[in-house]
Structure 1
Amino acid sequence: MTLCDRCVAFFYSLLMNPATALNLDEDTLHKEARAWVSRLKTSSLTSRQARELRRWCGRSPSHASAFAHARELWDAMPQHREDWLREAKLTQKRGHRPLRRALLGGLLLGGGLYLVARPPLQLWPSLADLRADYRTGAGEQRRVQLLDHVWLDMNTRSRLNVSDDPHLGRVVALLEGEVEVRQSERSASVCTVFAGAGSIQTFNGRSNIRYVNGETEVTCLSGSAQVDFGGQGYRLAAGERLVYGRHTISAVQTVLEKDFPAWRQGRLVFHEQPLSQVVAELNRYWAGHVILRDASLGSILVSFGVSLDNLSEALDILQQLYGLDAMRLPGGIALLSRA
């Protein structure tokens, strides 16, 4: 975490809960968060319990972040659920011991928590971003070496956690975003990536894994990959792709090399895609935000390519080829409308 990130995190915690900004029992906090998620996922909460959960999450940004983080890990790492359930039963037997209360009032706290958890237009890092072991901001890419001869190349606006499991080896929980896993033929190590409701292993090659808006897309670029979903295994060879959500998975599809994800080559390429999807993808890389002023524009199909080093060219292309007007505002904000 950079000095800037630490300053932002401290500012959030100090603003929302000055009494606990420097003195918070992290272990107890995360145990309670896991207990709440275990209860929420395995049983129906009573109205009283739901109010207690809302109050618990509202005590501080750390509480809200711990709950969101635990909920993500429950979905991403199902092998730990039994341990969580046993831990939750022990916590319930000992009784609930609340941590220090937040000092600010309900309205300020609720509004502040929302801005911290979901920054408007993604203009600053959320607490979930700051808590990740590794993360990238808008337009940023970085490489992480996981093991000997195993690397992760992270695309823009991605965050992940790394841990070790006695049975699975090195484990990556892709919380959001896109990564390319690179494993050389000399590597005998095993790395498992959990993304959404499934897991992926790459063998002697490269695989692109994208987890955005609850949908996971796995493209095997070279070598082979194993996707485990819903108790079934799916083997991908080079040039094959599949997509899964929380409950469904597609058939294995053949992908031409020209249709491989282009971000590793420093480009964004769109082929007959709705403008709404194009804008959403641009906003993952854009330091500001592109906004469609007219929702009906979202159905327009567009095709073009643009360099990641010159994203503003996308607005020029949309103006010249598709008759749109782009109003540029300070802070990287751009409004798209009919000319």
Structure 2
Amino acid sequence: MNPANAVNLDEDTLHKEARAWVSRLKTSSLTSRQARELRRWCGRSPSHAAAFAHAREMWDATPQDREQWLREAKLMKKRGHQPLRRALLGGLLVGGGLYLLAKPPLQLWPSLADLRADYRTGAGEQRRVQLMDHVWLDMNTRSRLNVSDDPHLGRVVALLDGEVEVRQSERSASVATVFAGVGSIQTFNGRTNIRYLNGQTQVTCLSGSAQVDVGGQGYRLGAGEQLVYGRHAISSVQTVAAENLPSWRQGRLAFHEQPLSQVLAELNRYWAGHLILRDATLGSVLVSFAVSLDNLPEVLEVLQQVYGVQVMCLPGGIALLSRA
């Protein structure tokens, strides 16, 4: 057999197995044993994890193919094809834990995707990773990324979720490349903040310069400039006011006339627990304040004293917010 054909055959089998797992996951309840087997299968290699993630996205994006997937899965089962028996890594899931690990309620513990990342941070955690000589990544809270070597680009970063600041000394001759969402960012001799959340990427050049490539177009950013892009839209390059520049690297969060719902969404990325808005009408209230990351509970005092929000604190860092 031609080696190239062997590779294709292996890839075909891999994706069939991934589709079979997603079909089972979406149409029936997994037993604890099956949940452990799926965890082992995803852990066999980055390719397995990526195939499962892709299949899960395609199930939602192409409902017209689901019947074919189900027939394919039944055929594999009928032939006795059980790749999970060969998995090498130990399982982490018990009972009905697969769903809880894949989608932790209120983000109270790491997800399956978190555990597969090369580097990750938890709520309120920040971390520095040296990418190469004179180039560092500062990871913000609840972020995850993978690092690999590309024969053409050198060391590259895949920002899977969250926020990083790329920092390069002036002595650096290297170019850092970060893939985030549907685009890529290259940074040069300075600091660039890259935020990728909910399918949207925000690139803010703080010093030096950055090159953003998305949708076949290239955009050059200088200090104080920002570009936002997603799967279906790209903003123009904007100049960012000093008070709106990312401030987490200075150990603080600042909000200026922002809806409370957006503020809470941002705070929940740092909060070891969860802030829950019980009254939806409060979400549109505009708030302005700054808080130190070392003293986040002060937020509750500000909301109570300045904005008249009633706060009920529960165990586990959970707080319920409603009108007084």
How far apart, in 1, do the equivalents of 2:73 and 2:257 lie? Answer: 44
Question: What is the TM-score with the length of structure 1 in the denominator?
Answer: 0.75
Query: 2:83 corresponds to which residue?
Result: 99
Q: Percent of pairs identical after alignment?
A: 70
How far apart, in 2, do the equivalents of 1:28 and 1:282 lie? Answer: 31
Work out which of the residue numbers 31, 44, 69 in structure 2 matches 1:26: 44
Cα distance, 1:160 vs structure 2: 0.2
Check the 8 A contact 2:41/2:84 in 1, yes or no: no
Is 2:70 the partner of 1:51?
Answer: yes
How far apart, in 2, do the equivalents of 1:20 and 1:208 lie? Answer: 35
Check the 8 A contact 1:236/1:252 in 2, yes or no: yes
SS of residue matched to 1:287? coil
The one-character-per-residue Cα deviations of 1:114-169 (angstroms, maximum 9, x if unpaired) are: 21101001111111001100000000001000000000000000000000111111
Residue type matched to 1:116 in 2? L
Check the 8 A contact 2:164/2:194 in 1, yes or no: yes
How far apart, in 2, do the equivalents of 1:197 and 1:32 lie? Answer: 16
Work out which of the residue numbers 305, 310, 317 in structure 2 matches 1:325: 310
Q: How many residue pairs were aligned?
A: 285
Distance 1:114 1:221, change over 3 A: same
How far apart, in 1, do the equivalents of 2:50 and 2:139 lie? Answer: 31
Cα distance, 1:27 vs structure 2: 4.6
Check the 8 A contact 1:198/1:229 in 2, yes or no: yes
SS of residue matched to 2:125? coil
How far apart, in 2, do the equivalents of 1:54 and 1:314 lie? Answer: 50
Check the 8 A contact 1:219/1:242 in 2, yes or no: yes
Gaps of 5+ in 1: 1-12, 60-94, 103-107
Question: What is the TM-score with the length of structure 2 in the denominator?
Answer: 0.79
How far apart, in 1, do the equivalents of 2:314 and 2:146 lie? Answer: 36
Work out which of the residue numbers 197, 203, 210 in structure 2 matches 1:218: 203
The one-character-per-residue Cα deviations of 1:223-253 (angstroms, maximum 9, x if unpaired) are: 0000000011000000100111112110110
Distance 1:50 1:299, change over 3 A: farther
Distance 1:24 1:327, change over 3 A: closer
Check the 8 A contact 1:275/1:299 in 2, yes or no: yes
How far apart, in 2, do the equivalents of 1:161 and 1:305 lie? Answer: 32
Query: 1:258 corresponds to which residue?
Result: 243
Residue type matched to 1:100 in 2? L
Query: 2:159 corresponds to which residue?
Result: 174
Residue type matched to 1:286 in 2? W
SS of residue matched to 2:138? strand
Query: 1:234 corresponds to which residue?
Result: 219
How far apart, in 2, do the equivalents of 1:205 and 1:263 lie? Answer: 17
SS of residue matched to 2:70? helix
How far apart, in 2, do the equivalents of 1:117 and 1:127 lie? Answer: 5
SS of residue matched to 2:267? helix
SS of residue matched to 1:278? helix
Gaps of 5+ in 2: 1-30, 87-92
Report the aligned-residue RMSD: 3.4
Cα distance, 1:187 vs structure 2: 1.2
Check the 8 A contact 2:144/2:159 in 1, yes or no: yes
Is 2:232 the partner of 1:247?
Answer: yes
> How do 1:80-99 and structure 2 match up within 5 A?
97-99=81-83
Query: 2:134 corresponds to which residue?
Result: 149
